[in-house]
Chains A and B, each alone.
Chain A
């Protein structure tokens, strides 16, 4: 709220400063800072007053959006407290793998592991694929084709997740069951690998990771290629003029220069991956176990909340455990964002952007 320095009339403002309470105590200083805009408002002419009122009014929406996040966090915290205080729960639930509300066991490790694995697989597929695609779009693709592909990508990003889920359920899951699993488990090259073992009905960790990856791809591609396109042409020319090929330039100069932007694309997809519910719910099988192979079923944090909230509402502890899952989910995604922001800041510093 320190717009006090932006008084339109300089002479008046300096006069004001001498008038103000100047006892030197911090409290008086604070009161002065609060009152000064008010006094400025009274002294200003009509356009000045409208200006000040307008600026002040803009504080409201800003505060509102910030406040909502804080309130949600507080609300989750409040709702999750019982399970953390109860003797049958406690902070240990985060590492306990047994979720059995009938026996008052609320270990949520399964869901945390499931979410991390799904997100990991999705990011592991979507980021390399998406970044490569973005490099093609920004560096080697003719303008018209690029416009067309980007339009399609943006449309893909707008498809509701239930649609992706339905498609995965009727196409991808049977494909994994009938083609992928038998193939990967029979061929010499991959059949010995531990992560390809186990029988499957198609509903699996792999299905969840794959559908998430498909959903993330458009975001990764569009944001990354936008970031690559903002790299100035003169940087590309400088690299080429040193005898670099176009692919060396794309890799070593353009991608490196746009790394903070690429980081931003990854943050967005991480947040979306961890929070994605519907499609994942439909294809992961949702059984209470920690998956040991890609073909095992799994249960993610968002799914357990969606599936059990209806039953849990009359059992305070059960309900509270679900809120604990939500709280941890929120904390995880905040952590992702903070870490990514730090990475982006570091990237911008080493590149001399800030």
Chain B
């Protein structure tokens, strides 16, 4: 597997919240320009794994970690490495749409402005580009100054994707991005994910097996904090190696 280029690699990662061990000795990689699905039942550590990749877990005082996470060959937990620079390079989309309570335009401009983009023309271009990439431009181009929370749930989630894309990160983390949406909006976002993988490395957490099969190229199955199986999605769908994986994808556990 070493010959494949990848932005993110994990080596022997274990994490704890207080004395509770969440992830157990995980080693895997996420291939560029593809969608890697992390699936598993609730509470298996999927979200923790995702939040370890952009160091969002650092906010939890009881969080502890062992092992190495490499982003483009650099250890992201190395003392002195900038967490802000890292989070700029690794975008995140959350489970529930969480647009900022401000206008659609301001939502998109928030990130670029943080990182020093001041020119109005450039900002306008970023707004348009990001919204187009998130397949939202046509729906909201006439109401850029409306408050974002007035959009529908699906539009809000696509806005959040556009917001994540606004700082142009090579990697996009998605934490069950469609689980709170209606099927129609969910379908749109799944299409969008497949579309986005041309330009981004996408890591998608989901507990929905069918969804993982529909959109992902590689899949990891996490069970009780353990990486049970990691393979191309096709192989996992057709012939899972581990009986726990089979139990999960056939619906016997989860």
Task: State the A residues within 8 Å of B (CB).
Answer: 232, 234-235, 237-245, 248, 252-253, 256-257, 349-353
Contact = CB atoms under 8 A, between A and B. Distances in A.
Contact of B98 (A235, A248, A349, A352): A235
B7 interface: no
Contact of A240 (B59, B100, B148, B166): B59
Contacts of A244: 84, 114
3 smallest A-B Cβ distances: which pairs?
A: A352-B147, A352-B149, A243-B88
By secondary structure, the A interface counts as helix
Contacts of B227: none
Contacts of B100: 235, 238-239, 253, 256-257
A351 B96 contact: no
B171 to A, nearest CB: 12
Nearest to B113: A252
A204 B52 CA distance: 58
A250 to B, nearest CB: 13
B59 A350 contact: no
27 contacts: A234-B96, A235-B101, A237-B92, A238-B98, A238-B100, A240-B59, A241-B54, A241-B56, A241-B91, A242-B87, A242-B163, A243-B84, A243-B111, A253-B100, A256-B100, A257-B100, A349-B147, A350-B102, A350-B103, A350-B147, A352-B101, A352-B146, A352-B148, A352-B149, A352-B150, A353-B101, A353-B149
A237 B92 CA distance: 9
B94 interface: yes
Most buried by B among A235, A237, A245, A257: A237
A270 B88 CA distance: 42
Interface of B: 54, 56, 59, 84-88, 91-92, 94, 96, 98, 100-103, 110-111, 114-115, 146-150, 160, 163-164, 166-167
B72 to A, nearest CB: 16
B147 A242 contact: no
Contacts of A239: 100, 110
Given A238-B92, A241-B164, 6 more contacts: A241-B56, A241-B94, A242-B164, A256-B101, A351-B101, A353-B149
Residue of A232, A239, A349 with highest tally of chain B CB at under 10 A: A239
Contact of A243 (B147, B160, B167): B167
A243 B102 contact: no
B163 A243 contact: no
A350 B88 CA distance: 27
